[in-house]
Structure 1
Amino acid sequence: MKNIMIAGAGVLGSQIAYQTALSGFNVSVYNHHIDTAERRIKALKSDYERDLHLTDKEFQQGLDNIKVITDDIATAVKDADLMIEALPESLELKEQFYEEVSGLAPEKTIFASNSSTFIPSQLAPYTDRPEKFLNMHFANQIWKFNVVEIMGTSQTSPEVIEEATKFAREIKMVPVILNKEQHGYILNSLLIPLLASGLSLWAKGVADPAMIDKDWMISTGAPMGPFGILDMVGLRTAAQIERNAYAQTKDESHKEIADKMEQMIQEGHEGKESGQGFYNYPNPAFMDPDFLKH
């Protein structure tokens, strides 16, 4: 593989694009808003400087491998060996995208979805290449939490799984291969119940986010609690997941939680990326050495 297309430059899409470029691949990025994609990718500089000690020159070398950022799917996918889709968690949006990109991508292109919500067999039917379709699910802050969960369908070619695994290692990820489809993969099957319980406690007024996080962090030794994690994920993504859960279950508690997060989003509290979420950034309270002492 040499040429990689990333579709969607949100929180994870921008990270996947830059990490791939930094690893020496030619990267093309498709995003509806070009300026937003450019801003998000360049904003990763401080993270890579802090955590990986990249110099200005080294960070720029990564940027130089991002050959094009475009709002035109055909331009982005024309030479792609692998296309990684990281669009918002809307099945309708993803269906529309896959139907369009299938008619534009070269025959060689492997399709991968980073979806945290939809398993590959839900998306593959909207492509023209189910044997070349799989999910590659990255954890947030991929330069630091460098795991990618690889999940195929019964139709996915073993060679495609092998190619995806090789690519994951080449961009310095640790591949975790699932033997069968599982909603939530491994990570989210463990993580989502924690986040859901935290949100439920907050929505019911049992405790505020800082108290919930403090209890979890002291009790388990974890570096952050559910609300610190939610800020990293982004409230828009979290709210969409709650709305998807409501659509599937009609459980009013999911709608109530989504509505509370939507109110925060309208007030500009979108999570770490916007500078405000459940905490204020770049110095959230849970990172203060005194947070766990009182």
Structure 2
Amino acid sequence: MTIKNVTIAGSGVLGSQIAFQTAFHGFNVTVYDINESALTGAKERLEKLVTVYGTYFNDADRAQKAFNSLSYSSDLAEAVKDSDLVIEAIPEVVEIKKNFYTTLANVAPEKTIFASNSSTMLPSQFAEFTGREEKFLALHFANEIWSKNTAEVMGHPGTDAKYTDIVENFAREIGMIPFRLHKEQPGYILNSLLVPFLDAAMGLWANDVADPHTIDKNWMTSTGAPTGPFGILDIVGMKTPYHLQLAKAQKGVPGAKEVAEKIKSQYIDQGKMGAATGEGFYKYPSPADLEKDWLK
């Protein structure tokens, strides 16, 4: 099977990046989201990536061509009518994902492979809703996909290995370095390491131990890291950590409710969604943590 037509379901920060990366490498890409308002936001995010890709790859014409090639739809059946691969990048909420896969199973062609970009959830949580358990797996990307070009490929016990091979090869074709996991792991490799780190930072903040800039300065000075945890959270955007903290709170994880409430009241409710909107823990496009003398 050859993948040529790809549908990206969900056009948030990372969904938009996956769409652009895929189009930039010559695939036919359709961006799906729930309504025209969401797609308008997607087009704005994708248009900003023209400059990002043109600069990073020193090829403005190719970046513009990729943007011009993108198709958009708020009709799921239309968006996937000839899709070889659907990459799901919708919110990290179990019921939303279950409902999405139940609907997708009824409208996607038999040939279509389904891949989830979920940050922390397992394919086996949703496999029964896909109607094609053997063609369903996880394909997880890191934020700022053009430079942090990792792709974690993870099946569930019912995934047919030949589809894992196809998706791994697709990842290479769009400029990724694929990392194949041998078994299911919540958070894959990257987030198994990253999420506890970010949780610890948010816990220090929520408990008023230190403010975000102090925490970042400490980490960056102590380790030589180019970015601190709150700089990373700005790149991720506020929705993902908020939903993850809510899910942890529902499971009774101590402190998670307080973190979620603080993210919502001080950032989401204020429209400070992170780097993509111009302000989060830092202000963009020139965040303080990247200033030459910030650590002095």
Bin for the TM-score computed over the shorter chain:
over 0.9
1:51 pairs with one of 45, 48, 56: 56
Q: Deviations over 1:191-211 (max 9, x none)?
A: 111101100111111111111
Number of the residue aligned with 1:211: 214
1:36 pairs with one of 20, 37, 41: 41
Using the TM superposition, give the Cα deviation of residue 49 of structure 1 relative to its aligned residue in structure 2, in angstroms: 3.1
Using the TM superposition, give the Cα deviation of residue 117 of structure 1 relative to its aligned residue in structure 2, in angstroms: 2.2
Distance 1:43 1:8 in 2: 17
1:65 aligns with 2:65: no
- Whichever residue aligns with residue 155 of structure 1, its letter is G
1:21 aligns with 2:26: no
The 5 A counterparts of 1:140-289 are 140-248=143-251, 250-263=252-265, 264-289=267-292
2:54 and 2:62 in contact (8 A); partners too: no
SS at match of 2:255: helix
- Whichever residue aligns with residue 258 of structure 1, its letter is A
1:24 and 1:65 in contact (8 A); partners too: no
The 5 A counterparts of 1:134-145 are 134-145=137-148
Q: Deviations over 1:25-69 (max 9, x none)?
A: 0011111222112111112123223322231x2211111331x20
Distance 2:200 2:187 in 1: 16
Using the TM superposition, give the Cα deviation of residue 252 of structure 1 relative to its aligned residue in structure 2, in angstroms: 4.5
2:273 and 2:280 in contact (8 A); partners too: yes
SS at match of 1:223: coil
Using the TM superposition, give the Cα deviation of residue 118 of structure 1 relative to its aligned residue in structure 2, in angstroms: 1.1
1:25 and 1:65 in contact (8 A); partners too: no
- Whichever residue aligns with residue 181 of structure 2, its letter is L
Distance 1:247 1:15 in 2: 30
Distance 1:101 1:59 in 2: 30
Distance 2:157 2:262 in 1: 39
Number of the residue aligned with 1:81: 84
In the superposition, the TM-score normalised over structure 1's length comes to 0.97
Q: Deviations over 1:87-123 (max 9, x none)?
A: 0111111111101111111111000000012100001
1:291 aligns with 2:294: yes
Number of the residue aligned with 1:95: 98
Distance 2:216 2:55 in 1: 24
Number of the residue aligned with 2:110: 107
- Whichever residue aligns with residue 58 of structure 2, its letter is H
Distance 2:57 2:256 in 1: 38
- Whichever residue aligns with residue 133 of structure 2, its letter is P
Using the TM superposition, give the Cα deviation of residue 225 of structure 1 relative to its aligned residue in structure 2, in angstroms: 0.5
1:194 and 1:226 in contact (8 A); partners too: yes
- Whichever residue aligns with residue 2 of structure 1, its letter is K
Distance 2:56 2:269 in 1: 31
Using the TM superposition, give the Cα deviation of residue 268 of structure 1 relative to its aligned residue in structure 2, in angstroms: 1.5
2:217 and 2:295 in contact (8 A); partners too: yes
1:37 and 1:69 in contact (8 A); partners too: no
SS at match of 1:115: coil
SS at match of 1:44: helix
Structure 2 alignment gaps of length 5 or more: none
SS at match of 1:134: strand
Number of the residue aligned with 1:6: 8
Q: Deviations over 1:152-208 (max 9, x none)?
A: 011101100100010000000000000000001100110111101100111111111
